[in-house]
Structure 1
Amino acid sequence: MKKVHTQIADQIARKKPGALIFPTDFRGIGTGAAIKQALFRMARSGTIKRLAHGIYYTPKIDSILGELTPGAEDVVRMIAKKEKIRIVPSGANALNLLGLSTQVPTKLVYLTDGPPRKLKIRKLEVRLKATSRKRVSRTGKISSLVILALEETALHQVDDATKNKIKKLLEQEDPKKLKHDLSLAPAKVNDFIVNLFKPFTIMKK
C-alpha cells in the first residue's frame, strides 16, 4: 500500500491549478495527523501553498498577473459545498456586492446555517456567523442580497438616489423569486420594497 504522503501527492497532482485543498479531502487515506503532516511538507516544498489555517491551494500562475490566489468567496463557496451548508453575505458585504457601497471591507462577514467560525485569509478576516435557516433560504440572486443588505440598514435614512438603484436592481430579478424572498423578509424590509414599486405591484411585468 502506498504511503499517505504519496497517495495525497498523487491526488493533488491531478487537481487543476488554483484548486482549493482541505485536509478532509483525504479522509480514509490515513489518520488526521498523518494527512496534516503530508500537507505541511508539501507546502514547505512549494508543491502547494497555504492560504489559511487548514486550507491550501495548488499554485496558479498568470503570464501577466503572476501568481493568482483564491479569494475569500472561493473559500466560502467551497466550505458550503463540502459541508452541505448554506452561506450568504451579511448586510455590509451584500451592500458592497450590489455596488451600493464603495467602502472596501477589512473584514468579511457571512451568515450560515452551519457552525460559526473565523478564518484569516492572507490579511483579510472572514467570519461565518450562525443565523436562522430562514435568512439563508431565499432563492433570488439579486433579491436575496438586497434583503440581506436592507436588514442591516437604517431604512429611514436611505436617500432617493439609493432607492432608485435598489428598484432598478430588483427589476432584474425573477418576480416569482422576489415574491418568495419577500415572504421570508422582515416586515419593515417587505414594506420598504413594496413601496418602491407603488403604484405597480412587484408581480406586474
Structure 2
Amino acid sequence: MITTHAAIEDNIKRYKRGELIVPSDFRGKGTENAIKKTLSRLAADGTIKRLGHGLYVLPKKDPLFGEILPSTEEIAIALAKKEKVKIKPAGAFALHKLGLTLQVPTKLVYLTDGNGRIIKVGKNTIRFKSTTPKKMALKGELSGLIILALEELGTDQIDESTKLKLSNLLEKENPIILKQDLKLASAAVHDFILKLILNK
C-alpha cells in the first residue's frame, strides 16, 4: 500500500510553480496528522516552502533572483479559490487598492461569504471577516471598494484631500452600478458619498 508521504510527494509533482498547498488538498491520502507531518518534512527538505501555519507553496525558481514567493494578496486570492469562497478587500487595504495610500498594509482585511479566520504569513496577516450577503453583493469596481473601505474605517477621519480623490474616483464609476451599490451601503456611508457627489 502506498504511504501518505509517497502519495503526497507524487501529487505535488503535478503542481505548478507558485501554486499554494494546504493540508486539505490531500484529504483521503492519510490521516490529518500524517498529512501535516508529511508537509512539514517536505518543507524541511526544501521540496516546498512553508508560508505560515498549514500554508505552503511550490516556489518559483528564477536563475537571477532565486526563489520567488507569492505576495500576501496572491496568497489570499488563492486561498479563497481553494476554499470556494468569495472575498472583497476592505478597510485600509481597500484604500490601497484604490491608489489612495501608497503604503501596503501589513494586515489585509477581506470580507467573505465564508468563515472568518486570521492567517499569519511571515510578518503579515490576512483576515477573512465574515459579512452579510448584502455587502458581498456590491458590484462596482470602484464604488464597491470605496463603500467597503468607508464601512470599515468610518467617515470621520477622512481628510479633504482624500475626499477629493474619492470624488474623482466615483465619477469614473458606471452611474447605474453606483446607484445600485449606494442602496447597499449603510446610512452614514450612503450620505457621505452622496455629499461627495453633490459637492463636486
- Normalised to the residue count of structure 1, the TM-score between the two structures is 0.85
| 1: CA distance, partners of 2:34 / 2:61 | 29
Paired residues for 1:137-176 under 5 Å: 137-155=137-155, 158-176=158-176
Task: Confirm or deny that 1:191 pairs with 2:191.
Answer: yes
| 1: CA distance, partners of 2:154 / 2:115 | 28
Contact 2:170 2:197 (C-alpha < 8 Å) held by counterparts = no
Q: 1:174 to 1:112 in 2, by over 3 A?
A: same
| 2: CA distance, partners of 1:100 / 1:162 | 7
Q: 1:42 to 1:153 in 2, by over 3 A?
A: closer
TM-superposition CA deviations, 1:129-183 (whole Å, max 9, x none): 2322322221222211111112244535544432231122223333333222211
> 2:177: which partner in 1?
177
TM-superposition CA deviations, 1:25-62 (whole Å, max 9, x none): 11122221221122111111101011110010002123
| 2: CA distance, partners of 1:156 / 1:30 | 53
Q: Which amino acid in 2 is paired with 1:85?
A: V
Percent identical: 51
Paired residues for 1:53-68 under 5 Å: 53-68=53-68
> 1:52: which partner in 2?
52
Q: 1:106 to 1:38 in 2, by over 3 A?
A: same
Q: Which amino acid in 2 is paired with 1:35?
A: I
Q: 1:65 to 1:177 in 2, by over 3 A?
A: farther
Paired residues for 1:33-52 under 5 Å: 33-52=33-52
Q: CA RMSD in A?
A: 2.2
Give unpaired runs (5+ residues) of structure 1: 201-205
Q: Which amino acid in 1 is paired with 2:149?
A: A
| 1: CA distance, partners of 2:75 / 2:124 | 12
| 2: CA distance, partners of 1:118 / 1:159 | 30
| SS of residue in 1 equivalent to 2:198 | coil
> How many correspondences in the alignment?
200
